[in-house]
């Protein structure tokens, strides 16, 4: 009876250690992933705060529309063309009810 109890206890102890190790590994991996996601979220929110564009309509006539774009954020930005797309293009629509022009 002495050796079988020792052997059974050792098997149960190894099982508990394996479960504990798996649980801890999953816990640390989850904490690491959560930390990475939180850091990415904070960086995206910081980008939103650092760049803040304001568009002011200066004058509107029948043939033209003058606007001023101002960055009031802390980060410097450059409006430029990239991959054939003009990022500083402003779309204007106007109309008289049911008929709109662009």
Structural domain total, the chain: 2
Are 43 and 21 in contact by the 8 Å Cβ rule? The answer is no
Residues 62 and 25 in one domain: no
Around 27, how many Cα atoms within 13 Å sit in the side-chain half-sphere? Answer: 6
Q: Are residues 43 and 55 in the same domain?
A: no
Instruction: Please write the tens of the pLDDT for every residue from 75-97.
Output: 887 777 777 766 666 667 666 66
The pLDDT tens digits for 1-23 are 677 888 999 999 999 999 999 99
Q: How confident is the model at residue 36 (pLDDT cuts 50, 70, 90)?
A: very high
Closest CA to 53 of 37, 72, 80: 72
Same domain, 31 and 55: no
Residues 60 and 78 in one domain: yes
First to last CA, the chain: 92
Q: Which helix (H) or strand (E) holds 54?
A: strand 53-60
Which pLDDT band, with edges at 50, 70 and 90, does 25 fall under? very high
Q: Do 1 and 46 sit in the same domain of this protein? A: yes
Q: Structural domain of residue 78, as residue ranges?
A: 51-101
């Amino acid at each position: 009876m002495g050796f079988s109890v020792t052997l059974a206890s050792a098997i149960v102890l190894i099982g508990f250690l394996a479960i504990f190790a798996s649980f801890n590994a999953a816990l640390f991996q989850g904490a690491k992933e959560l930390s990475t996601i939180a850091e990415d979220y904070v960086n995206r929110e910081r980008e939103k705060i650092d760049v803040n564009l304001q568009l002011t309509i200066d004058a509107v006539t029948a043939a033209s529309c003058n606007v001023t774009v101002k960055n009031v954020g802390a980060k410097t930005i450059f409006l430029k063309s990239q991959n054939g797309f003009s990022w500083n293009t402003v779309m204007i629509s106007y109309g008289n009810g049911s008929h709109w022009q662009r």
